[in-house]
Amino acid sequence: MIAAKNQKGVPRAEEVNAFLGKGTTFEGKMTFEGLFRLDGKFDGEIFSGDSLVIGETGEVDAQINVNNLIVNGKISGNITANNRIEIAPSGEIRGNIQTSTLVMSEGAIFEGNCQMEKRQAGREEKISFLGTKETEKEEIEQEKTQLLRTSKRKGNNHQEKADGED
């Protein structure tokens, strides 16, 4: 059974389907359905079309590919979250992330690169974490070109008037 989801597509916390508790260590490949909460130590790969929660005592060294990720503990490794990544104040991510939505609380730690792709009604925008949207860059370039053309025309008009006045 897949857990009911809230408005953001993240399963509600009380509907945990699987749990790796504090003091537990696991190494290997993990796949799951529904909501998985990890409060122990994990080393390896995690794949799921659902949601993963790393608790405050959770320590993960893994390649992660899930739909939603909530980080309260520590992660080292590359992450792909198709829908959303949330990093709580106690959360730490060291590695590259790729997601549609990134939420970082004050105090959260993120060291790495972030690639964000947002799809809306058939339109794709690539967003750099510290940069501007590609569509915004294109709009800025178009505005610059238009301003240059306008100023050149005005400059020619002023030159023609100056020539005519002599």
Could you tell me if 95 and 75 are in contact, meaning their C-beta atoms sit under 8 angstroms apart? yes
Q: What gap in Å lies between CA 63 and CA 73, rounded to an integer?
A: 16
| Per-residue pLDDT tens over the stretch 104-136 | 999 999 999 999 887 554 444 454 444 444 556
pLDDT higher for 12 or 143? Answer: 143
Residue 151 domain-assigned?
yes
Q: Which residue has the higher pLDDT, 154 or 93?
A: 93
Alpha-carbon span 71 to 46, nearest angstrom = 14
* Domain total of the chain: 2
The total of other beta-carbon atoms located within 10 Å of residue 142's CB is 10
Beta carbons of 48 and 66 less than 8 angstroms apart: yes
The answer to the question of residue 64 being in a domain is yes
CA–CA gap between residue 101 and residue 85 (Å, rounded): 6
**Residues spanned by the domain of 41:** 13-128
Q: Are residue 136 and residue 124 in the same domain, yes or no?
A: no
On whether both 141 and 73 belong to a single domain, the answer is no
Q: Tell me if 116 is assigned to some domain.
A: yes
Choose among 35, 32, 33: nearest CA to 13: 35
Q: First-to-last CA distance in the chain?
A: 87
Q: How confident is the model at residue 137 (pLDDT cuts 50, 70, 90)?
A: low
Q: What is the pTM of this model?
A: 0.64
Q: Based on the fold, state whether residues 100 and 151 are members of the same structural domain.
A: no
- Same domain (yes/no): 33, 109: yes
Residue 43 CB neighbour total at 10 angstroms: 14
Same domain assignment for residues 109 and 166 = no
- The answer to the question of residue 1 being in a domain is no
Mean pLDDT value across the chain:
78
Is residue 57 in some structural domain?
yes
In a domain, 5, yes or no: no
Q: Which of 7, 32, 39, 28 is nearest to 17 (CA)?
A: 32
Answer yes or no: is 4 within a domain. Answer: no
Q: For position 121, what pLDDT does the model report?
A: 43
What's the pLDDT tens digit per position in 15-52? 777 778 899 999 999 998 889 999 999 999 999 999 99
- Tell me: do 106 and 40 sit in the same domain: yes
Distance CA 78, CA 124 (A): 23
